[in-house]
Structure formats: structure tokens, C-alpha cells
Amino acid sequence: MIYLDAGYGYAFYDSARGDLSIDLLDVQRKLDQLLGQADTRPLIKELLEISLPQLEKDLKELQKSLESNPPSATAQTAGPTAPLPALAIIKGEQKYTGFQGVPVLAIFAVPHETPPNLKGKPEHAAAAEAYDLEVGGKLTKAFENGMAGSRVVRLAHANHYLFRSNDADVLREMNSFLAGLQ
């Protein structure tokens, strides 16, 4: 399996970090189940002890990032104005926690290139990069730790479309990875 800047929460769920959209969907699904179950005690216990505390942690982390970074550095890609295909993808997210016995190569842009709207704004660009390094660093480390035997590559200042911005690096890493499978 090869991830190209795609090993985020929707592809690998790290229970230590959580993921706001996945945890929110999880809570919504469990609340919906409450209406149709005869014995709701186990579900209520799970909501109170696991799901709701994780969602609270996610929301506090989002609040912290929103308060400490410029709006352009923490802009969300999904929300009420997201295109319908993006909303459909988000609504279908679930907790993927790893693959047993599957070789994995994950190439991440960490930090990503400076967004065009921040070029010429060095303070905001530096804040966005610091945020991306912090979040991306935690994410890639969690991916490495959670996906036993995975190879994680970090390409600094790459574009999200790694296969375009860093095609030679991507091809080299993929060829090396695939050669190691034989």
C-alpha cells in the first residue's frame, strides 16, 4: 500500500491523537443507535467513558490551534461550504487502525509548501509552517508507530500533490519500496 500525502486520520486513526471529523461521526452514530436499542447501558457507558471524552479532547485541540495560529494556517477543508463529494467522503470516514502483514510506504509533505495566500507575509507563513511541522510531525510519528513495518518518508516544502511537485523523489521512493518487496 502506498500513501501519497494521504496517511491522515481518514486513512489511519491514531486513538492517542483522535480525529475530529471521525470522532464526531462516531458520536453521531452512537447517539443514533441509542434510539433503537433495547438495552442502552453498554452504549451509554462507551459514550461517557470513551467517545465523548475523545471528542472533547479533539475540540480543545482545534480551539487551541485556532487561537494560536492565523486563520489561513488552520483553515478547514471541510465544512458547510465544502463540495458535495468532499462531504460524502467525510461522512463515510471510519477508524482504520492499521493493516496486518501489508507492506506500507507513506510519503508525506512535512511541512507543506507555503500556501500562495501567505507568500509575502513572512510572519504568517512562519506560523503556518510551525503549525504544519508540529501537526505533521505528530501525525507521521503516529503513522510510523501504528503501522508496524511501514516506511515513512517526509518531503520538506512539497506540494500536497507530491507526484507533481516532487516526482523524482516519489518515483525513487516507490521504486525502492517495490524493489524491496521482491
C-alpha cell belonging to residue 146: 501504528
Q: Say what the pTM is.
A: 0.70
Position 174 pLDDT exceeds 90: yes
What confidence tens digit (pLDDT) does each residue in 85-122 have?
766 677 777 777 767 778 889 999 999 998 888 888 88
The yes-or-no verdict on residue 26 having pLDDT over 70 is yes
The Cα–Cα gap between 38 and 131 comes to 46
**Per-residue pLDDT tens for 115-145?**
888 888 888 888 888 988 988 888 898 888 8
Mean pLDDT across 153-175: 94
**Distance between CA atoms of 152 and 140, rounded to whole angstroms?**
7
- Looking at the predicted structure, is the pLDDT value of residue 165 above 70? yes
Q: Whole-angstrom Cα distance, residue 48 to residue 27?
A: 10
The domain spans of the chain are 2-179
